[in-house]
Amino acid sequence: MTIQEMQQKKRELGITYEKLAELCGLAPITVQRIINGTTPNPRPYTKGLIEMAFINAESASGIVKEEAFQYGTTVKKQGEYTAEDYFRLPDDQRCELIDGVIYDFASPTDRHQDLCGELFYQLMTYVKTNGGKCKPRMAPSDVHLDNKSVVQPDVYIRCVPKSKKASPEFAAEVISPSTRSRDYIIKLKKYMESGVREYWILDHDKDQISVYLFENGDFTLTQYSFSQAVPVAIWDGKCQVDFSGVLEDIAEAQDTPEEEADPGEE
């Protein structure tokens, strides 16, 4: 989102700098300076928080499929939902709750599932080989972060016995077009705030794996290509995930044309 687009969005929503600051956790003066152009080169992370605030502001105004989450005669606005509301949704409706906003999931692609499966397989193989209390998990699996947030990371790890309300040590998301801004902006902030130690974003379209390590409310970022082995920091780099095998399968699937039906067949 460009600065001009932010200015236009602010006018469309009629939202104040103070409200935007409340939604993204920044000082109002910081938000104002970035949107009005006084700060010419804001940090990408700070700019991303403001973009997230606009997304949440749109959700709170009812733009995001609010009608799908009404219960009887009780109607809530996006931003007001709780974990209790989330767990009352139908079992076949896959979605997430983040800071009171309910987000739908599109059906995952084969490539998405291949990458998730490969990551889970290598993490689980390491645990089975080396022992320990760590338990990798794959979506769909609820992670209850707080009373207004229940997420379903594509892959995550818990390393000590914890309740379902505790944050995992490790979370990974595979980018889909419908989840790009959620994974890069909204979940990044939420995972950092909730105590996740390591967060991977697998973006096959960009040939990029972004590894965020969180500590004391801040993060470090290291980026890898899919051709590189990626160390798992919570295990001191002793486990390294290699995606070369699954990339060959993905490339082969993309190069293989669909079989044509025999003209004589009905």
36, pLDDT greater than 60: yes
- Dig out the tokens for 19 from the structure: 């409200």
Q: Assess if CATH 3.90.1150.10 describes domain 110-255.
A: no
Burial of 151-171, coded b for 16+ CB within 10 Å and e otherwise, reads bbbbbbbbbeeeeeeebbbbb
Mean pLDDT over 31-38 rounds to: 89
C-alpha angle 65/201/23, rounded to 5°? 45
Place of tokens 């818990």: 158
264, pLDDT greater than 70: no
Mean pLDDT over 49-60 rounds to: 72
39 pLDDT band, cuts 50/70/90, is confident
197, pLDDT greater than 90: yes
Residue 213 CA to residue 220 CA, distance in Å, equals: 5
E strands, the chain, are: 95-98, 101-104, 135-138, 143-146, 149-151, 155-158, 170-174, 198-203, 208-215, 218-224, 230-231, 240-241
pLDDT in tens, 205-239: 899 999 999 988 788 999 999 999 999 999 999 99
How far lies 78's CA from each of 61, 89, 115, 122, in Å?
7, 15, 31, 37
Select from 1.10.3470, 3.40.50, 3.40.30, 1.10.260 the CATH code of 1-61: 1.10.260
pLDDT in tens, 134-187: 999 999 899 999 999 999 999 999 987 655 557 899 999 999 887 888 898 889
Residue spans in the chain of domains classed CATH 3.90.1570.10: 110-255
